[in-house]
Chains A and B, each alone.
Chain A
Amino acid sequence: MQGQQLSPVSRDRLICQMPKCYTAESCLQYKTHFDAQVKSACQQRHAGNFGLKMSKVVMVGDLYVGKTSLINRFCKNAFDRDYKATIGVDFEIERFEILGIPYNLQIWDTAGQEKFKCIASAYYRGAQVIITAFDLSDIQTLEHTKHWLQDALKENEPDTCSVFLVGTKKDTLSEAECERTERDALKFAVEMKAEYWSVSAKTGENVKDFFFRVASLAFEQSMKKELEKNGHSATQIGAGNLIQLEGNPSETKENDVQHNMNCC
């Protein structure tokens, strides 16, 4: 028994359905289900041969947009209204079980202050997910997200990172104001090839949904990579699909044919 699992994954970190995106206007993929090959591989417990399942997430963005607060709300379900600047970097490890497979997110929280950039940027390497955060009530912080993304992408191999654009402090805006800012933000998201989310760490609105989405897409992506590398399922499921990555709506129909897995 020790060979597989020691301390069990918390019950509220079990994912068996692909979580929905925030808005179809800017999302990394439209599919409502996990990739069929990934699902099938998980069911057959081929996953045991895939090696470690851990993805690195890096959170970047201007100071005081609430990067640390967002992570603390998700990982510790806590919110501290006092501002404390992050020194250099910090990290959290969040454990999930996705499609029955233990899976972990290593979430790196970076300092937004310019003076720490040289330290924090050393931690951008090997990121599978880049989250660029901005304050919904401060349009300048949105404009800076492009620079943050550029800096983070520079440290990584091209086309290896999934990008998310997150507007924070949703609770400080009225519905109308939020919609107005979201319209601007969506333009940025499309240009950055990022999936867009509006959240509030204070109220917790969309925070869990957002990180579940991050975890699920990162999990699916790394499973696909592993399958591709090992060539495991090539004989069982057509090899033609192995190279395909998410973001292709035409894939949807094909996947929907596959049986749905109930694990919860």
Chain B
Amino acid sequence: MEIEQEDLSPETAFEKDPFGITVEDVYDMSHVIGKDLMKISKETRGATEHVADLQFKIVRVLEILETLVNQSSLSAEEVKMERDNLKAEVERLTKESPSADQTDLGPDKMVIDLRDPNRPRFTLQELREVLQERNKLKVQLLVAQDELQCYKSGIIPPTEDHIVTLENESIITTSPRPNGGSKEKSTIGRLFSPFKQEKQEQ
């Protein structure tokens, strides 16, 4: 700001807000006053002594003004520096601890970045269901593999109608339970019966 003033006419220094005046403004003022005093002393030759006296007093007032402005601009500078330092500190702290802006979330909460393609987005219940489904399919696979093995090794003649039907019973109900009608069951049925109840075509 101070540099810009050089382009302006020195007279503008007199129009400024008193609290915004800089040392350069004071020098501009002295320059203008000095020119005016010279003009007066040229035009009024008889009053040179009075003018010189007034000139001395004006210089003194300008010196006082210079000192005051200098001091206030120094403290203004200090305050500005202090402000910039604090600003930088705040920025650093917010960057370092993202939790700073979570203070109102509470200790057991989490902030999810919605732009993160790998963010958590499925519920526990959904995972449970997927796992149950997977377990069910794995059981079916094992049953099918076993049955295939039987056909391959000729234990079951290919013509025989031998269908194992699976029912969708939860895989978690795995506690061993006695099974009364086991005599009629195939090994396949016995093998997987803790997982699910099976029906067999007789």
Contacts and interface: CB of A to CB of B under 8 A. Distances in A.
B155 A54 contact: no
Interface string A128-145: 100000000000000000
A201 to B, nearest CB: 21
B70 interface: no
Interface range for A: 20 to 34
A7 B176 contact: no
A118 interface: yes
A67 interface: no
B146 interface: yes
B124 A119 contact: yes
Given A102-B190, A104-B191, A118-B124, A6 B146 contact: yes
A89 to B, nearest CB: 6
- Among A6, A88, A118, the most chain B Cβ lie within 10 Å of the Cβ of A6
Nearest to B131: A88
A122 B135 CA distance: 14
Contacts of A54: 176, 190-191, 193-194
A6 B194 contact: no
Contacts of B124: 118-119
A249 interface: no
A52 B186 contact: no
B153 A56 contact: no
B179 to A, nearest CB: 5
Contacts of A87: 127, 131
Contacts, number: 87
B174 A93 contact: no
Given A7-B187, A102-B190, A104-B191, A52 B128 contact: no
A238 interface: no
B178 interface: yes
Interface string B7-22: 0000000000000000
Contact of B146 (A2, A7, A126): A7
Contact of B174 (A1, A104, A125): A125
B182 interface: yes
B180 interface: yes
B60 interface: no
The 4 A-B pairs at the shortest CB distance, nearest first, are namely: A126-B175, A7-B149, A51-B178, A6-B187
Given A7-B187, A56-B176, A93-B142, 20 more contacts: A1-B155, A2-B186, A3-B184, A3-B186, A4-B187, A6-B146, A6-B147, A6-B156, A7-B147, A8-B155, A52-B176, A52-B178, A56-B175, A91-B138, A93-B192, A104-B191, A106-B194, A119-B127, A123-B174, A125-B175
Interface of B: 124, 127-128, 131, 135, 138, 142, 146-147, 149-150, 153, 155-156, 162, 172, 174-176, 178-180, 182-184, 186-188, 190-194
26 contacts: A1-B155, A2-B156, A2-B186, A6-B150, A6-B186, A7-B150, A7-B188, A48-B183, A51-B179, A52-B190, A54-B190, A54-B191, A55-B176, A56-B174, A56-B194, A87-B127, A88-B128, A91-B135, A102-B187, A106-B194, A119-B131, A122-B128, A122-B172, A123-B172, A126-B175, A128-B176
